[in-house]
Amino acid sequence: MKLPDDGTLRDAGLAPPDGSQGRILIIACGALAREIIALRDLNGWNHMDLACLPAKLHLTPQFIPDAVTEAVERARSRYGRIFVAYADCGTGGLLEARCAELGVDMIAGPHCYSFFDGNAAFSARADAEMTAFFLTDFLVRQFDAFVWRPMGLDRHPELRDMIFGNYERLIYLAQTDDAALDAEATRCASRLGLAYERRITGYGDLASSLETLASG
C-alpha cells in the first residue's frame, strides 16, 4: 500500500455494518500507519482494520481528543472493539481521559519515541538523554514538513542555534534497518548542528500492544 506523504489513511478498510462485531478497528496517528500495516501483515491479523488521522495533528495536539472522539463515534456501530493508537502525544492527559469516557483503550506512554524505545527503557534513560532530540522513521522521512518548516528554519535559519542550542545530539529511533533512512537522519543531525546516534528499536511497545489486542 502506498501511503500519502503525511502517512494519513482516512477510514481505510472500514467494515460493513453486518457481521462486523468480530473485527477490531485501530484508530491511529498517521505517523504510525506504515508500522501498524507492517505488523498487521507480518502477523496475519486479518481481523484488524486501520483508520488514520492526519499526522499533522501533532502540530496542534489540543485538537487530537476531539478528532479521536469523532472517529470513534463514526465507527462504533461497525466494530466489536476499537483501539486508539496514540500515546498522550502532547495532550496533557486529555486524550487518556477522553478515551476513558469513550470506553476505548489506547497505547501507554507519553509519545511515540517512548513506546518505540520501550516505555520502561525510555524512562530509565530520561535524565541521561535530557539534551537529546529524537526522530523516528516517519520523522526522518518528513523532517522538513514536521521539523524544519514548522519551526521556521526554512525562513530564518539563524533560529537554529536559538532553538537547538541546549541540545547535544540527535537520536534516531529506527523502526527499520534502512541505510537510506540512516543517511537521511545523519543529514538531519548535521542540519541541526547535533551529534548523531542511531538506535534500532524495531516496533517496541507498539508491537506488544497490538499483539495483546489481536489475541484479546
Q: Domain check: are 132 and 55 in the same one?
A: no
Q: Domain check: are 81 and 141 in the same one?
A: no
- What confidence tier does 216 reach under pLDDT thresholds 50, 70, 90? confident
Q: Is residue 103 part of a domain?
A: yes
Q: Domain check: are 193 and 211 in the same one?
A: no
Task: Return the pLDDT at 4.
Answer: 41
Decide: 51 and 12 in contact? Cβ < 8 Å: yes
Share of the chain above pLDDT 90, in %: 88
Q: Residue 22: pLDDT above 90?
A: no
8-state DSSP, 9: -
Q: Is residue 13 part of a domain?
A: no
8-state DSSP, 15: P
Q: Domain check: are 38 and 84 in the same one?
A: yes
Residue 143 corresponds to which cell in the numbers above? 523532517
Q: Domain check: are 29 and 105 in the same one?
A: yes
Q: Domain check: are 37 and 101 in the same one?
A: yes
Q: Domain check: are 94 and 143 in the same one?
A: no
The dihedral formed by the CA atoms of 172, 175, 179 and 184, expressed in degrees to the nearest 10: -40
| Structural domain that includes position 105 | 24-110+204-215
Mean pLDDT within 26-54? 96
Q: Is residue 185 part of a domain?
A: yes
CA–CA distances in Å: residue 197 to residues 129, 138, 158, 166:
12, 17, 24, 17
Task: Return the pLDDT at 21.
Answer: 63
| Total domains present in the chain | 2
Q: Is residue 1 part of a domain?
A: no
Q: Is residue 4 part of a domain?
A: no
Q: Residue 7: pLDDT above 60?
A: no
- How many residues in the chain? 216
Q: Residue 9: pLDDT above 80?
A: no
Q: Domain check: are 158 and 192 in the same one?
A: yes
Q: Domain check: are 124 and 168 in the same one?
A: yes
85-98 pLDDT, tens digit per residue, is: 999 999 999 999 99
Q: Is residue 153 part of a domain?
A: yes
- What confidence tier does 38 reach under pLDDT thresholds 50, 70, 90? very high
Please state, as a whole number, how many other Cβ atoms lie within 10 Å of the Cβ of residue 30.
Answer: 23
Task: Return the pLDDT at 202.
Answer: 98
Q: Domain check: are 209 and 193 in the same one?
A: no
Report d(CA 71, CA 190) in Å as an integer. 39
What is the helix (H) or strand (E) element at residue 81, kind and residue range?
Answer: strand 81-85
Share of the chain above pLDDT 70, in %: 90
- What confidence tier does 169 reach under pLDDT thresholds 50, 70, 90? very high
Decide: 117 and 199 in contact? Cβ < 8 Å: yes
Q: Domain check: are 65 and 97 in the same one?
A: yes
